[in-house]
């Protein structure tokens, strides 16, 4: 009786071993990686992850668009493998993290002014100072001489300006304020740069849709949205004067041009603002968006997978960007990044 029982146990043990082994092999093959962060690059990231999954079916990358702040918090608390942000981490945030974090630009975005001026069909041209003074509520009418000076031949009406900003804190607001702060010392002093600021006036619309709806419905309104959003919704938007005193319309090309100018003096950690970049045809309200990685992650297998993914995203992956409205990185920046990727320890 005992021997029968023993034999039974032995069989079961063998079966359990086989099961465990099988599960072990399956686990080795299937890699699940999660990240969280900025909402702005979500469409391109989703596209990349699904395309990459087609090439490597065993690799599944999940991305939660919780917002840049939440992305940084989650990465710092190590609840996700990678983070993503529209504004580089501050020095304080870097120090608060448990280990060294690497910033890697993935694509570029731009922010454009949208407006609703009765009777004006031409593209309005804005200098940086004019935009800052409008959002500081110092320029109150559309026929203000400062606006008219940049728009010869356009008849601007005597209509009150209503400024519309994002009520939800957002990377879009950060980029917009970053630019206004670069061109207007008064903006930097009175308002500052952040994902949410104390606006001098105007109204807040919830998300890009809220800003767009408010601008469309209110004669005299001016707001700002991501270039992607303006392109997808076929919104008309104005030109902005660049650092080279040239009026530039935001396009995929002019956004990439802004980054190309910055590549020459790129800091080693890629934490750089490219608003008001010099160079011909560079759109001034442009910005990188970053993915964030620990330089020495504890899970080396995942690190290897993500490094390979980034090598793909920075090369083959870039061609998906323009079709969904993101500006691809200039080649010079990609070269620097492929070099920087080697900092991530995969063994």
Partner 1 sequence: MAQRSQAGAGDGLFRAATGAFALILVALVGGIAFVLWEGSRASISSFGLQFWQTSTWDPVAGQFGAAPFIWGTLYSSILALLISTPVALGIAIFLTELCPYWLRTPLVFLTELLASIPSIVYGLWGIFVLVPAVRELQLALPDWIRALPLFSGPPVGVSLLSAALVLAIMIVPFTSSVAREVLKAVPAAQREGAYALGATRWEATKVALHFARTGIIGAIMLGFGRALGETMAVTMVIGNTPRALWSLFAPQYTMAAVIANEFAEANDALHISALVEVGLVLFVITLAVNLSSRVLIYSMTRERRPKRKAAVRPAEASA
Q: Footprint of partner 1 on this chain (CB under 8 A)?
A: 66-70, 72, 90, 93, 160, 162, 167-171, 191-199, 202-206, 209-210, 213-214, 217-218
Closest separation in Å from C-beta 218 to partner 1: 6
Give the integer Cα–Cα distance in Å for 212 and 321: 23
Q: Taking a C-beta distance cutoff of 8 angstroms, is the pair 88, 290 a contact? A: yes
Nearer of residues 60 and 167 to partner 1, judged by Cβ: 167
**Shortest Å distance, C-beta 195 to partner 1:** 4
- Distance between CA atoms of residues 69 and 218, nearest Å: 32
Closest CA to 64 of 90, 40, 81, 39: 39
Judged by CB, which is closer to partner 1: 67, or 325? 67
Q: Considering the complex, state which of residue 70 and residue 107 has its C-beta at the smaller distance from partner 1.
A: 70
DSSP 65: -
Phi, psi of 119, rounded to the nearest 5 degrees:
85, -5
Both tokens of 264, joined, read 């020459």
**Nearer to partner 1 by C-beta: 209 or 299?**
209
Select from 242, 233, 236, 241 the least CA-distant residue to 223: 236
Sheet of 162-166, strand order: 59-64, 31-37, 82-85, 286-294, 101-116, 221-226, 162-166, 203-205
Q: How far is the CB of 221 from partner 1 (least distance, A)?
A: 8
Q: How far apart, in whole angstroms, are the C-alpha atoms of residue 335 and residue 339?
A: 6
What are the tokens at 298?
């504890």
Give the pair of three-digit tokens for residue 184: 């207007």
Sheet (strand 239-241) strand order: 125-126, 239-241, 247-248
83: which strand partners? 36, 292
> For residues 191 and 258, which CB has a smaller minimum distance to partner 1 in the complex?
191
Cα dihedral sign, 35-39-45-50: positive
Q: CB 210 → partner 1: shortest distance, Å?
A: 6
CA distance 89 to 199: 23
Query: What element of type H or E holds 275?
Result: none
């Amino acid at each position: 009786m005992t021997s029968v029982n023993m034999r039974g146990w032995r069989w079961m043990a063998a079966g359990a071993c086989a099961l465990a082994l099988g599960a072990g092999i399956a686990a080795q093959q299937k890699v699940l990686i999660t990240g969280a962060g900025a909402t702005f690059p979500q469409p391109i990231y989703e596209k990349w992850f699904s395309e990459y999954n087609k090439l490597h079916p065993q690799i599944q990358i999940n991305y939660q668009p919780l917002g840049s702040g939440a992305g940084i918090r989650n990465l710092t608390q190590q609840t996700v493998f990678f983070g993503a942000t529209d504004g580089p981490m501050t020095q304080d945030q870097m120090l608060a993290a448990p280990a060294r974090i690497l910033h890697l630009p993935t694509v570029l975005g731009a922010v454009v002014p949208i407006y609703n001026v009765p009777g004006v069909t031409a593209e309005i041209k804005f200098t940086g100072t004019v935009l800052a003074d409008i959002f500081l509520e110092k320029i109150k009418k559309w026929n203000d001489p400062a606006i008219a000076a940049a728009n010869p031949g356009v008849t601007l009406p005597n209509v009150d300006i209503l400024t519309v900003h994002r009520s939800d804190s957002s990377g879009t607001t950060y980029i917009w304020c970053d630019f206004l702060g670069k061109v207007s010392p008064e903006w930097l002093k009175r308002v500052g740069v952040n994902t949410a600021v104390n606006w001098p006036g105007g109204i807040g619309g919830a998300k890009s849709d809220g800003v767009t709806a408010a601008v469309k419905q209110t004669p005299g309104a001016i707001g700002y949205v991501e270039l992607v959003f303006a392109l997808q919704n076929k919104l008309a938007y104005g030109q902005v004067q660049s650092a080279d005193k040239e009026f530039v319309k935001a396009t995929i090309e002019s956004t990439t041009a802004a980054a190309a100018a910055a590549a020459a003096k790129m800091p080693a950690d890629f934490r750089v603002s490219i608003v008001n970049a010099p160079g011909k045809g560079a759109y001034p309200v442009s910005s990188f968006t970053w993915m964030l990685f620990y330089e020495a992650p504890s899970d080396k297998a995942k690190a290897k997978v993500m490094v390979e993914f980034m090598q793909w995203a920075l090369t083959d992956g870039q061609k998906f960007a323009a079709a969904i409205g993101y500006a691809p990185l200039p080649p010079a920046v990609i070269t620097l990044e492929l070099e920087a990727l080697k900092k991530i320890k995969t063994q």
